[in-house]
């Protein structure tokens, strides 16, 4: 096939896959196409024959060529998808050989423990390793304050339902926030209050007013690489939260799920600011290791230990010994630190690419919050656009994005946010995905109170 014929074939194929030429639509005649592409009739005939072999088009005698039905396009459409929705690690990022070594070693070392119920608080040897790991993040506690959970979701669910020493009952959450936290609160019929968090931060007067007047048991916050915004509090902001918590006897549940991906070595958690008496520091291992291991750890103030021990026992008796053993060996061997370092660099590079591509291809007004580097999530705000229809259209073109509606309380005002995850993408995916989004925004359906970006004027 000549270069010209290949070019024509690729162009028509691309238009079909993108939906620019609809299923059942008649293609221009061979003569019309030869004029449009400035090539010979034989070139167009050859291109049509190639597309016919791929079952993308078919001919009707004495009528012309037509695009096939949608079902025939599915294999081509599903050949590759660009996933901006996933919150699970890239499977290629973890060495299966390393994991199997840790698993086999855990089977040897913890064989006797597998046949008994272990400490509901977690294996002592693992808790001692977690103490060392937390020290690197300026979180200094003892193994007696450490709990190992069957995932961060279990930790949040238990904390939501158990009584706290301050005797208060209401829970304050940022808006938006992690959807799993909202689902747990809803399932337990907890009284929840929302406070807006934007790329500019939080309303400090409102936060202090809530702490002072609204019987807040604890404030759930994601200070580092927020989900879904991707933003982080400054050191002064973290210190202020710790000070307000102590002043008004409000506990802080600090979900530091991406501490391992921090690129700023001076970025300490809230716990570091004299928060040991009022801060529950929570870390998930699902983003660094396999989510299926279901492991998270927390250090809690001493006053909370007895109550949390009781509630943890009633939840599952004990966390999987085998999973705990794998994590312990993974940490002790140095694999954890090495793996976290690799992932930190990989995700930082991807986030930088997302920021560059979005800044180049999308209107500035839509760039709600995209970290310069680091983290997993960013958010786009599309005011005046039917995001549900937009998400469907780009999904048909092989690009998956997620509306952030479920990350808000039902009664809280919801901007038109898209959460963009870079976990299952690479730099080429990001470039192609943002290009597709930009093209679909060109002819997106507007709402009645539509905002008109400059490129539509």
CATH of the domain at 302: 3.40.640.10
135: left (phi over 0), alpha (psi -120 to 50) or beta: alpha
Is the residue at 292 inside a domain? yes
User: Does pTM surpass 0.95?
Assistant: no
- Shared domain check, 184 and 129: yes
Q: Are 286 and 388 in the same domain?
A: no
Please report whether residue 180 resides in a domain: yes
Maximum CA pair distance of the chain? 85
- 63 and 28 co-located in one domain: yes
Q: What was the pLDDT predicted at 448? A: 47
The reply to whether 346 falls in a domain is yes
The SS3 assignment for 290 reads: coil
Q: Are residue 352 and residue 331 in the same domain, yes or no?
A: no
Place of tokens 């001076």: 266
421 — phi, psi (to 5°)?
-105, 140
Q: What is the rounded CA–CA span in Å between residue 159 and residue 192?
A: 14
Residues 6+ apart with CB under 8 A from 25: 66, 67
pLDDT at 2: 56
CATH code, domain with 24:
1.10.10.10
Q: How far apart are alpha carbons 59 and 103 in whole angstroms?
A: 58
According to the model, what pLDDT value does residue 62 have?
77
Tokens representing residue 245 in the block: 């918590």
Query: Which pLDDT value is given to residue 456?
Result: 35
In a domain, 77, yes or no: no
My answer on whether 349 and 233 are in the same domain is no
Please indicate, yes or no, whether residues 13 and 154 belong to a single structural domain of this protein.
no
pLDDT score, position 452: 41
Give the per-residue pLDDT at 89: 77
Cβ-Cβ contacts under 8 Å for 185 (sequence gap 6 or more)? 160, 171, 173, 192
Smallest Cα–Cα separation from 103: which of 328, 291, 364? 328
3-state secondary structure of 444: coil
Q: Are residues 278 and 163 in the same domain?
A: yes
Q: β-strand 377-381 against 417-421: which pairing, if any?
A: antiparallel
Predicted pLDDT of residue 451: 41
Residue 415 covered by a domain: yes
Q: Does 306 share its domain with 371?
A: no
Tens-digit pLDDT string for the chain (457 aa): 457 888 899 889 888 877 788 888 899 999 999 888 888 999 999 999 888 877 788 888 778 888 886 655 555 545 578 999 988 877 766 666 766 777 777 777 776 666 566 788 999 999 999 999 999 989 999 999 999 999 999 999 999 999 999 999 999 999 999 999 999 999 999 999 999 999 999 999 999 999 999 999 999 999 999 999 999 999 999 999 999 999 999 999 999 999 989 988 889 999 999 767 999 999 998 887 766 678 999 999 999 999 999 999 998 888 888 888 888 988 888 888 888 898 899 999 999 999 999 999 999 999 999 998 789 999 999 988 989 999 998 998 899 999 999 999 999 999 999 999 999 999 999 999 999 999 999 877 665 444 443 333 2
Verify that 185 and 303 share a domain, yes or no: yes
Same domain, 151 and 248: yes
pLDDT the model gives residue 95: 61
pLDDT, position 449: 46
Residue 215 lies in a domain: yes
Among 335, 364, 397, the domain boundary falls at: 335
Amino acid 283: pLDDT:
95
Task: Please answer whether residues 433 and 82 qualify as being in contact, where contact means their C-beta atoms are separated by less than 8 angstroms.
Answer: yes
Question: What's the domain count of the chain?
Answer: 3
Give the residue from 288, 310, 335 where a domain finishes: 335
Residue where a domain stops, chosen among 288, 320, 335: 335
**In this predicted structure, what is the pLDDT of residue 354?**
96
Asked if 154 and 7 sit in the same domain, the reply is no
Q: Which residue has the tokens 């019309």?
A: 32
Whole-number Å distance between alpha carbons of 457 and 454: 5
Domain that holds residue 409: 82-91+337-456
Could you tell me the strand order of the sheet in which 417-421 lies?
377-381, 417-421, 402-403
CATH, residue 387: 3.90.1150.10
Whether 60 and 177 map to the same domain: the answer is: no
Residue 322 placed within a domain: yes
């Amino acid at each position: 096939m000549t270069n010209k014929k290949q070019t024509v074939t690729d162009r028509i194929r691309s238009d079909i896959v993108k939906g620019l030429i609809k299923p059942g639509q008649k293609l221009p005649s061979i003569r019309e196409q030869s004029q449009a592409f400035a090539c010979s009739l034989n070139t167009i005939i050859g291109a049509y024959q190639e597309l016919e072999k791929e079952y993308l088009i078919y001919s009707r005698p004495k009528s012309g060529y037509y695009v096939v039905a949608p079902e025939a396009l599915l294999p081509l459409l599903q050949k590759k998808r660009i996933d901006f929705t996933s919150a699970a690690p890239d499977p290629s990022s973890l060495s299966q050989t390393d994991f199997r070594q840790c698993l086999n070693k855990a089977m040897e070392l913890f064989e006797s423990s597998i046949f008994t119920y272990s400490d509901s608080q977690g294996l002592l040897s693992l808790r001692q390793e977690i103490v060392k790991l937390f020290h690197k993040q300026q979180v200094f506690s003892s193994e007696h304050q450490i709990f190992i959970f069957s995932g961060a979701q279990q930790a949040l669910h238990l904390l939501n339902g158990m009584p706290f020493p301050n005797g208060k009952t209401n829970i304050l959450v940022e808006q938006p926030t992690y959807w799993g936290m909202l689902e747990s609160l809803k399932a337990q019929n907890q009284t929840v209050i929302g406070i807006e968090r934007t790329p500019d931060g939080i309303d400090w007067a409102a936060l202090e007013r809530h702490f002072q007047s609204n019987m807040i048991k604890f404030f759930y916050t994601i200070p580092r690489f927020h989900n879904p915004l991707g933003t982080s509090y400054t050191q002064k902001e973290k210190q202020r939260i710790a000070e307000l918590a102590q002043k008004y006897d409000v506990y802080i549940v600090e979900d530091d799920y991406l501490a391992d991906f921090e690129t700023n070595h001076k970025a300490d958690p809230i716990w570091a600011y004299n928060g040991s008496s009022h801060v529950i520091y929570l870390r998930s291992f699902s983003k660094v290791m396999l989510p299926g291991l279901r492991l998270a750890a927390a250090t809690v103030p001493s006053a909370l230990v007895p109550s949390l021990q009781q509630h943890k026992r009633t939840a599952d008796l004990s966390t999987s010994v085998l999973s705990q053993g794998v994590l312990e060996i993974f940490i002790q061997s140095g694999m954890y630190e090495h793996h976290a370092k690799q992932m930190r660099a990989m995700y930082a590079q991807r986030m930088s690419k997302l920021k560059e591509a979005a800044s180049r291809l999308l209107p500035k007004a839509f760039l709600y919050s995209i970290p310069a580097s680091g983290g997993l999530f960013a958010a786009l705000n599309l005011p005046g656009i039917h995001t549900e229809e937009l998400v469907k259209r780009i999904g048909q073109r092989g690009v998956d994005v997620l509306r952030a509606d479920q990350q808000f309380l039902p009664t809280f005002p919801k901007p038109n946010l898209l959460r963009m995850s870079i976990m299952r993408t690479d730099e080429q995916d990001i470039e192609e995905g943002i290009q597709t989004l930009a093209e679909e925004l060109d002819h997106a359906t507007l709402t009645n109170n539509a905002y008109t970006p400059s490129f539509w004027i």
